[in-house]
Amino acid sequence: MLNNDEKKIIAAIPEGADHPRSMKDVALLVNLDTRTVRAIVHDLNVKGYPIGASRHQPAGYFWATSDDELELALRPLTSQTREIQRRLAGLRRAKAISKDEVLAEPTADDEKAKEA
């Protein structure tokens, strides 16, 4: 069951990826701050509602009305997930080291200067 804010946000998001509405505009329409709108849209996605977000112009939220639009909504999330996985892998390889030790190491520029 949806709450009132969720229903207001769904009503403010246009159908179709051709005319997305910016988060700022959605927030203004529903009288909420952008952080709250982002959190509610996230929760609606988790609940299975087909709200996509285009990060390219025209950028904004849209209600996916087809499988193609759902795929369009998944693309940026898939890319973001890959980047998060790369960051996780790097942190898993990390070792405890002091900043002083890191700053004392030669830089890539130092190595290039030696080669020249």
pLDDT digits (tens, 9 = 90+) for 43-85: 999 999 999 999 888 899 999 999 999 999 999 999 999 999 9
Please state the pTM of the whole predicted model: 0.77
The rounded distance, in Å, linking the Cα atoms of 111 and 116 is 9
Residue (of 65, 67, 68, 54) closest to 20 by Cα position: 54
